[in-house]
Chain A
Amino acid sequence: QVHLVQSGAEVKKPGASVKVSCKASGYSFTAYSMHWVRQAPGQGPEWMGRINPSNGGTRYAEKFLDRVTLTRDTSITTVYMELTNLKSDDTAVYYCARDGAPRWLQNWFDPWGQGTLVTVSS
């Protein structure tokens, strides 16, 4: 069974950085791209970017280009999302979500991790 298990909740001050992990199991880790999606309180989801765990290639939404970095560690089947220069409106639940099919990018998401709440507050 496919599982995506994310790291725990974080509280950060404005200007700080956060790094969230997502450990994958139950499938071939390098065969599927992994996406990151965030959801602010009461809002719809927002796509941030994706990483190809096979070669580390990334694609970011323009909005986050200068602040987000996606990486992976294939030895422990884990992907990471780091967001820098945090602002109060970065307060959201951050999800990793596997791409829909192996090897041929689909850009829909199944399944999702359980989510990590990141709170930015002074």
Chain B
Amino acid sequence: DTVLTQSPGTLSLSPGESATLSCRASQDVTNNYLAWYQQRPGQAPRLLMYAASTRATGISDKFSGSGSGTEFTLTISRLEPEDFGVYYCQQYVTSPLTFGGGTKVEMK
């Protein structure tokens, strides 16, 4: 299985600051087949990004994705209260499809 390791585990930031989240894969994620999701407390995950850097429909351009190979990054600029939550990466190159353990972005 492709293991995804997300870091840091928790980010404590203030509104207006930027967040940089990392996702490292145990093997090459070919074609950048990597997605990012946001999960607010008590809610289902919501797709933010696919193909590493393509924003999903309706997602603000404050979210940006980058990376290739085994290293991927999600950047969130100008944090607002609704951006605080847990973020997951997911690879869809190999079966089983796998998710990272998540990065919690919390308000400082």
Contact = CB atoms under 8 A, between A and B. Distances in A.
Contacts of A35: 97
Given A47-B96, A47-B98, A108 B35 contact: yes
Interface stretch (A23-31, A59-67, A77-85): A59-67
Contact of B45 (A45, A100, A107): A45
B101 A108 contact: no
Interface residues of B, number: 20
A109 B100 contact: no
Contact of A112 (B46, B50, B92, B96): B46
Contacts of B56: 110
Nearest to A50: B97
A1 B33 CA distance: 26
Contacts of B100: 44
Interface string A85-122: 00000000001000010000011111111110000000
A73 interface: no
Classify chain A's interface size.
Answer: 20 to 34
Contacts of B37: 45, 109
Contacts of B73: none
Nearest to A112: B44
B88 A107 contact: no
Given A44-B101, A45-B99, A107-B97, A113 B92 contact: no
A31 B7 CA distance: 36
Interface string B86-105: 00101010011111111000
B47 interface: yes
B88 A63 contact: no
A47 B50 contact: no
A47 B99 contact: yes
16 contacts: A43-B101, A44-B102, A45-B90, A61-B97, A62-B96, A100-B50, A107-B92, A107-B97, A108-B50, A108-B90, A109-B47, A110-B47, A111-B44, A112-B44, A112-B46, A113-B44
